[in-house]
Chains A and B, each alone.
Chain A
Amino acid sequence: MNRFAPALRSVARELDLPPKVKTAILMEMTGDLEAAFDHHRNLGRTEEEAERLAEAAILGSSEMVRRLGRLHRASWLEWSERVGERLGGGADLVLLLFAVVPMYALAGVVTFRTVAYPSSLLSWPLLAAGVAVGALIALEAGRILRGARGAGRQLPLLLTLSVVAPVLGLLAATLEVHSAAGALAGGVAEPVIQVAFVEGMTRAGTLLLVGLLIGLAGALSWFVLLNRDAVRVRREVDAILQDSSHVRSELQIEGVIPLIRRRRA
């Protein structure tokens, strides 16, 4: 059990922040509380005294909690975490399996067609972005589900690439439309113009579709993995905050209502 659990629970209740941010703050405080406790114990203070001094130095007042709340409020991230919290019970994994995997597979199939067009200048960067998005999804899914070290670190990069891919797709499509229009004005024989124009339009559509599919697959994966990671990190803090039985029984003996209620088995 963690000796600071009751005080940390009180801070946790006051901190109105997205789960992942709140968890990170509580974990930082836990580490520092323990360091402060050890420091005061090494100075010869009693356990109770060391505990009190550590809490005074690290946890502070409601004003500190309010200031931290104001500092860390990021509305879009908060929204995504709160929505993700409601997607419990494996719904997120269903989303990952039945939306992201087919979407990415379709992007892969269409990409092979894109590679066959040598004139598409931006098809290679788009292909590279697609491969990077796929690799990042696989890497982060593996790390987060295993609870491995460094899990979640590449999620911002995944989100960035998910935005870059549709932009590349759009740029590539615009280039294709531009060259098809150029062919029209080139004064070539009519049947040749028609073939070139249709090919150009097909290429433009394909590149745009690939970009959009990669972007959607990446963004959905980012959303699911972000929330899986938040759950993983929150469990670590739950282990600290749910300071178990013996503090709870002490509180009950003194007639104090326990701060958290456990679900009935």
Chain B
Amino acid sequence: MAESHDSQTLGRRVNEIVLLWALDRRPMHGYQAALEIERRSGGYFSFNHGTLYPILHRLEKEGVIAGEWSDPEEGRARKEYALTEAGRTYLEEISRTWRTLAERLEPFLSPGDSDESVRTGVA
């Protein structure tokens, strides 16, 4: 199926892929996941100004991740998110789509190349 790549979808997919990657490693709280992503990307990706919750809650509603409240007897109850089976499949799918996108984009990222090499994909 053809995937659309308008700027809004691209931004949303980037947020999704980095969040799902973090939650695939282990179940985490929202802020923990944001910190993990920031650390892994060297500060390139950061979830500021409330972008985190709408994405997390949407993914939870779609069944891609599952939120579970931690035990209130151990301090304040915290909501921890984990990737579901459907989420794992979805992560594989979007990872594949993004690899393809990166491969297809590569020939366009070398400004010195001639038109002919871009057309034929020859570097």
Known: A57-B48, A64-B51. A35 touches B76 (CB 8 A): no
Assess whether A57 is in contact with B47, with CB atoms less than 8 Å apart: yes
Assess whether B51 is in contact with A28, with CB atoms less than 8 Å apart: no
Identify A60's interface contact among B35, B49, B61, B73, CB under 8 A. B49
Measured CB to CB, the closest approach of chain B to A56, in angstroms, equals: 6
Q: What residue of chain A has the Cβ atom nearest to residue B46's Cβ? A: A57
Chain A residues positioned under 8 Å from B52 (CB to CB): 57-58
Identify A68's interface contact among B48, B53, B78, CB under 8 A. B53
Identify A31's interface contact among B47, B73, B76, CB under 8 A. B76
Assess whether A32 is in contact with B30, with CB atoms less than 8 Å apart: yes
Interchain CA distance A68-B30 in the complex, whole Å: 15
Assess whether A31 is in contact with B57, with CB atoms less than 8 Å apart: no
Assess whether B50 is in contact with A61, with CB atoms less than 8 Å apart: yes
A36 within 8 A of B: yes
Number of interface residues of B (CB under 8 A): 25
- Grouping DSSP codes into helix (H, G, I), strand (E, B) and loop, the A interface class, with mixed when no group exceeds half, is helix
Interchain CA distance A24-B30 in the complex, whole Å: 14
Assess whether A35 is in contact with B48, with CB atoms less than 8 Å apart: no
> What sequence of 0s and 1s flags, for each residue 46-62 of chain A, a beta carbon within 8 Å of any chain B beta carbon?
00000000001111110
Q: How large is the interface on A (under 10, 10 to 19, 20 to 34, 35 or more residues)?
A: 20 to 34
Give me the interface of A with B, judged by CB distance under 8 Å.
24-25, 27-32, 34-36, 39, 56-61, 63-65, 67-68, 71-72, 149
Sorted from nearest, which 7 A-B pairs have the closest CB atoms? A60-B50, A64-B50, A32-B31, A31-B78, A67-B54, A60-B49, A28-B79
Give me the interface of B with A, judged by CB distance under 8 Å.
29-32, 34-35, 46-54, 57-58, 61, 71-73, 76-79
Q: What are 13 sample pairs from A and B whose C-beta atoms fall under 8 A apart?
A: A24-B79, A27-B77, A27-B79, A31-B31, A31-B77, A34-B76, A35-B78, A57-B31, A58-B50, A63-B50, A71-B58, A72-B57, A149-B73
